[in-house]
Structure 1
């Protein structure tokens, strides 16, 4: 693939409210952007290691937000910081 044809994206870290079920599965429920806009996650369609979607470490959740399918990534924390579990981000296109 020609590098000039690739979409340019950047990680945007977001706040995500999530629930954990009895088995420990993390279910994201709501995304809040840095400017305070909040969107409920209507459905989680898929969950898989992120390297199968975007060649990234961590996990990728395919979610429905406002009727549109989006990828929501969970980046696991560095093991040197045991009090940090991880953080969420979405990829947005840059110009």
Structure 2
């Protein structure tokens, strides 16, 4: 089971208005730089629920999904059970 973990995101806006996330701040205050954006598209998070703009990111060599669900950002995370 996955659930939404809401995170703070540092975002760069291009002159054309496009959002480009550059780092995420985890709930415990750790900051992770986004090394590369691999894909951006409207999509649903089927396991965690919700939909918005899905960013497929490379963070510390690992592929992660980051969602912008206006007005908040979340990362799907596996449950502890």
State how 1:20-31 maps to structure 2 within 5 Å: 20-31=13-24
Tell me which structure has the larger Cα radius of gyration: 1
Partner of 1:73: 67
Alignment size in residue pairs: 78
Structure 1: runs of 5+ lacking an equivalent: 1-7, 77-85
Q: 3-state SS of the aligned residue for 1:58?
A: strand
Structure richer in strand, relative to its length: 2
Compute the displacement of 1:28 (Å).
0.2
Partner of 2:52: 58
> Aligned equivalents of 1:47 and 1:56: distance in 2?
16
Q: Normalising to structure 2: TM-score of the pair?
A: 0.90
Structure 2: runs of 5+ lacking an equivalent: none
Structure richer in helix, relative to its length: 1
Q: Normalising to structure 1: TM-score of the pair?
A: 0.77
